[in-house]
Amino acid sequence: MEIIKPKKLQKGNTIGILAISGRIKEYERIEHSKLFFESEGYKVIISDTCKSSHGYMSGNNDEECIKALHNFFENNEIDVILCARGGYGTLRLINKIDWNIIKNNPKIFAGYSDITILLNMIYKKTGLITFHSAMANGDFGDEIKDYTKESFFKALTGESVLYKAESGIVYKEGIAEGILWGGNLSSLVSLCGIDFIPEDENLILFLEDLNEPVYKIDRMLTQLFNMEKIRNKVKGIILGDFQNTKDDELLKELIINFSEQFQLPCCDGFKITHDKIKDTIPIGVNVKFNAKKGLVELVDKYVC
């Protein structure tokens, strides 16, 4: 696959805030996010889908969300597309997206949670590196944490080259290389049945989730690794937070057994999370992963 590196974020650029997943319940948060980025020296354009909804999703309908996505990529004034929030909705869109519009107008595309679906499908379909990052509504729409802010701007300007686990558990020692790939586990699993796995590269799989009991995490991991491509391509697993599982010891036992079963270097403790303090991580960049040291080193540049 030919990798496309987006242009790095620079002062004075325009950030487009795009709602294509869950509906925005408090538009004031989007306005707060706009003011934050303007105070940092950026211009901001907000999609109309931030102000409308159908059921639990943003926009008046799926077609409006598709149109907003296409327009944001085609709009030469917009340099970075930052998703407003996750929730649910992007799975409904992926069979309607014109991937050539994205491929022919590459730019930074960022978000997490339900946006995991688009981050990985964009990379799969176009080769464009995307970013698992803080979002406008839940992060920048509130008092943004210093760590989250710093990681976001370092990653999008191409400065961040090392991620380190803090107080993590080493489930299985080892060193592996591949491209960073993954995100929210339940969102990633929802792509099963679709051609979503990169063809040529080994994968360093990173995962997080929220409010999922251990048996569901077990089921989702099993579903992923029942796929031959996943078993053949994944060379290491990086874990962020699995919040509110209600049984951390059972989760620990599951991960130990899982990493041993598939002989995969694995550790947790990374700031990949629904929590307020989070890293921004490029999807599609080559990395070296040392599970014993809890280190992920980016090998290649991922913005131009």
Q: Read out DSSP for 118-185?
A: HHHHHHHHH-B-EEE---IIIIITS---HHHHHHHHHHHTT---EEE-SS--EEE--EEEEEEEEEEH
Rg (CA), the chain: 18
> pLDDT at residue 184 above 80?
yes
Provide mean pLDDT across the span 114-126. Answer: 98
What average pLDDT is seen over the chain?
97
The highest-level CATH class for domain 162-298 is: alpha beta
What pTM value is reported for the model?
Answer: 0.97
For the chain, domain boundaries: 14-156, 162-298
If pLDDT is split at 50, 70 and 90, which confidence band does 142 have?
Answer: very high
Q: Convert the pLDDT of each residue in 270-282 to its tens digit.
A: 999 999 999 999 9
Catalytic residue among 33, 151, 212, 274: 274
Among residues 186, 208, 212, 259, the one annotated as catalytic is: 208
Work out the angle at residue 186's Cα, subtended by the Cα atoms of residues 252 and 63, and round it to the nearest 5 degrees.
Answer: 165
Residue 39 among the catalytic residues: no
Q: Which of 33, 113, 186, 187 is catalytic?
A: 113
pLDDT of 168 reads 87
Residue 269 has pLDDT above 80, yes or no: yes
pLDDT tier at 167, thresholds 50, 70, 90: confident
Our answer to whether residue 208 is catalytic in this structure is yes
pLDDT at 248 over 80: yes
Please tell me the CATH code under which domain 14-156 is placed. 3.40.50.10740
Active site residue 274: yes
Is pLDDT at 304 greater than 80 in this prediction? Answer: yes
Residue 195 has pLDDT above 90, yes or no: yes
Residue 212 has pLDDT above 80, yes or no: yes
pLDDT interval class at 1 (50, 70, 90): confident
Q: Is 295 helix (H, G, I), strand (E, B) or coil?
A: strand
User: From edge to edge, which strands make up the β-sheet containing 80-83?
Assistant: 43-46, 14-18, 80-83, 108-111, 130-132, 281-283
